[in-house]
A and B are shown apart, each in its own frame.
Chain A
Amino acid sequence: MSQLEFVQGNIACGKGAIAAGCTFFGGYPITPSTEVAEYMAAALPKIEGGCFIQMEDEIAGIACAIGAAWTGARSMTATSGPGFSLMMENIGYAFMTETPCVIVNVQRGGPSTGQPTMAAQGDMMQARYGSHGDYSIIALCPATVQECFELTVKAFNLSDQFRCPVFVMTDEIIGHMRERILIPDSVEIIRPKPAKPTDLPFGTDESDIPGFLPFGSGQRIHVTGLTHDERGYPDSSSYQRHEMLIKRLVHKIESRRHEIADYEIVNPDAKIIFICYGVPARTVQQLAAQDKAIGYLRLRIVWPFPEEVLKQFKNVTTFIVPEMNLGMISREIERHTAIPVVSVGKIGGDLHTAQELQEVANAYKTAGGQR
């Protein structure tokens, strides 16, 4: 039976994971993400086949989450800034080996240990580019506790569908605040495309996404972070092999970015359009309820960036981008539009107020988009 609960965003991520059929959590607790691990530590042992492991650090945390995914389990880890930094190499490994897994990053003020108990959105570029080499990933940004639940479920589905690591990028505010959420009886679950035991483990059809042959499915499988062929065997000295593999891995996500896109648009005919994601979106929504002269685009999925959406704003003279960093996604937007983009960065842990954003909007209403 569906039920109402009054819980923190972090707990909602855990409940979303359990609803999605996650049976493995490996990680290392870190503020402000610890409640995700705490919830999973209590919930997983009660599930058949469920396993929670606290590892020695975040490097090992994601490594065992990747290993568990290769047994066919839905697998996750959760962390915050410093732990996310430690995970970067293995995130590249998960991408290279097409391992479905979910990483929840409850963002806090950085760099370094920074502000453990304060919110930030400073890891948005690290999520996209933090590991070495060319790659592409999927990152979701909840703005409510309900969305922490829903987007964690969605993260597992996207991860299986595209066979890649998927990030749920929340922050300390959403992670720690409590709201009422509705937990449905069941959720939609999309598992990886099955493969026949005779298929090559990394061979693909025109979809560019191989069927999944986890360990135990009847074939010997070699999984390596080295450039590899369709059998999974290293072949790292061929120009063509590397180009073919990496282009396919990037293409399987980037070519579908408009299919993956998940966003909300309000008042698209306005001249002043806010572009937001995560918790600052709530301030933008508050402002839009008061000021009918502004509109907004709220991204629930930030990466891959759905740049086509920007064309829907026919009258826009200024894009205003409030973020809890000194301007990250604002730069991605700039690269896709000739319209002036104004970054409203705020760091330190406090959320933009409606008044602050109103002042910026008013300044550009009269300036007609000129900086």
Chain B
Amino acid sequence: MRTEIRFAGFGGQGIVTAAVIFGKAAAIYADKYVVQTQVYGPEARGGSATSAVVLDDADILYPKVTDPDIYVIMSQDSFDKYGTKAKSDAIVVLDSGLVHDRPNCTYYEVPASRVAKEELGRVIVANIIMLGALVAATGVIGREALKEGILSSVPKGTEELNLKAMTQGFEIIEKIKA
């Protein structure tokens, strides 16, 4: 089954990196067919950034995302642009400290940037918390596959920090679901 995921936020949050890590986890470690694309604008830090991943169990022909099933949103601007258009059965995972509005569909509030900064000491891993939350909330790929995807992508010496961030993401969703 085709699943379309939109990642959006601002430049510097690691939006494209998150999509690439997730895509790699799905393609290499969860044996899915995956296409990852991004908008290649002249975006620097602070501008909008977006990336998309299409997952399927069969060959993906049309490569672009048209009507996402899942959103990972990390800024109010990108919520205005994408979140407001989410279809009624979509799932939105949002950074609740940065996105003030809420969509008209199932959503999960993940205070990723706050947790990354206050509990892990590095705001840069907020995107990995969001990936943990995405996987725990939707189950589109297994947790082990995500872990392998992260470990094979992040710089040496940051593995522990990134796995902690991923686990934080899992736990935030588990608490919401409990």
Chain A residues near B (Cβ < 8 Å): 4-6, 31-32, 117, 172-173, 176-180, 279, 282-283, 285-286, 289, 351, 353-354
Q: Which of B28, B35, B38 contacts A4 (CB 8 A)?
A: B28
Chain B residues with Cβ below 8 Å from A179 are: 27, 34-36, 60
Is A180's CB under 8 angstroms from B27's CB?
yes
Contact A282/B62 with A6-B23, A117-B40 known, Cβ cut-off 8 Å? yes
A176 to B20, CA, bound (A): 12
B92: shortest Cβ distance to chain A, in Å?
24
Chain A residues with Cβ below 8 Å from B64 are: 173, 351
A sample of 11 more A-B contacts (CB under 8 A), given A117-B40, A176-B38, is A6-B23, A6-B24, A32-B40, A176-B40, A177-B63, A178-B35, A178-B36, A179-B34, A179-B36, A279-B63, A351-B62
Contact A6/B40 with A177-B63, A283-B62, A351-B64 known, Cβ cut-off 8 Å? no
A6 to B20, CA, bound (A): 9
Measured CB to CB, the nearest residue on chain B to A279 is: B63
Contact A178/B20 with A6-B27, A32-B40, A117-B40 known, Cβ cut-off 8 Å? yes
How does the 8 Å CB contact mask read for B86-118 relative to A, with 1 for contact and 0 for none? 000000000000000000000000000000000
Is A283's CB under 8 angstroms from B38's CB?
no
A192 to B74, CA, bound (A): 54
A353: shortest Cβ distance to chain B, in Å?
7
Q: Which of B24, B35, B42, B61 contacts A177 (CB 8 A)?
A: B35
Chain A residues with Cβ below 8 Å from B41 are: 117
How does the 8 Å CB contact mask read for B20-57 relative to A, with 1 for contact and 0 for none? 10011001100001111110111000000000000000
B53: shortest Cβ distance to chain A, in Å?
9
A285 to B38, CA, bound (A): 22
A153 to B40, CA, bound (A): 27
Is A353's CB under 8 angstroms from B66's CB?
yes
Chain B residues with Cβ below 8 Å from A117 are: 40-42
Measured CB to CB, the nearest residue on chain A to B51 is: A178
Is B28's CB under 8 angstroms from A351's CB?
no
Chain A residues with Cβ below 8 Å from B33 are: 180
A177 to B24, CA, bound (A): 12
A119 to B36, CA, bound (A): 16
A300: shortest Cβ distance to chain B, in Å?
16
A350 to B116, CA, bound (A): 36
Is B62's CB under 8 angstroms from A176's CB?
no
Interface size on B, residues (CB 8 A): 20
Contact A285/B40 with A179-B27, A180-B34 known, Cβ cut-off 8 Å? no
A4 to B27, CA, bound (A): 9
Q: Which of A6, A172, A282, A283 contacts B34 (CB 8 A)?
A: A6
A283 to B37, CA, bound (A): 16
A285 to B42, CA, bound (A): 32
Chain A residues with Cβ below 8 Å from B61 are: 282-283, 285-286, 289
Measured CB to CB, the nearest residue on chain B to A283 is: B62
Closest 8 CB pairs of A and B: A286-B61, A117-B40, A180-B27, A178-B36, A6-B24, A286-B62, A285-B61, A6-B27
Chain B residues with Cβ below 8 Å from A6 are: 20, 23-24, 27-28, 34, 36
A353 to B23, CA, bound (A): 23
A4 to B62, CA, bound (A): 22
A117 to B61, CA, bound (A): 22
A206: shortest Cβ distance to chain B, in Å?
43
Chain A residues with Cβ below 8 Å from B35 are: 177-179
For B23, B35, B60, B63, which residue has the most chain A Cβ atoms within 10 angstroms? B63
B84: shortest Cβ distance to chain A, in Å?
21
A158 to B135, CA, bound (A): 45
Please name 23 pairs of A and B residues whose Cβ atoms are closer than 8 Å in the assembled complex, sorted by A: A4-B27, A4-B28, A6-B20, A6-B23, A31-B40, A117-B40, A117-B42, A172-B40, A173-B37, A176-B37, A177-B36, A177-B37, A178-B35, A178-B36, A179-B60, A279-B63, A282-B61, A282-B63, A283-B61, A351-B62, A351-B64, A353-B62, A353-B66
Measured CB to CB, the nearest residue on chain A to B58 is: A289
Is A180's CB under 8 angstroms from B40's CB?
no
A291 to B35, CA, bound (A): 23
Is A178's CB under 8 angstroms from B40's CB?
no
Chain A residues with Cβ below 8 Å from B36 are: 6, 177-179
Chain B residues with Cβ below 8 Å from A354 are: 62
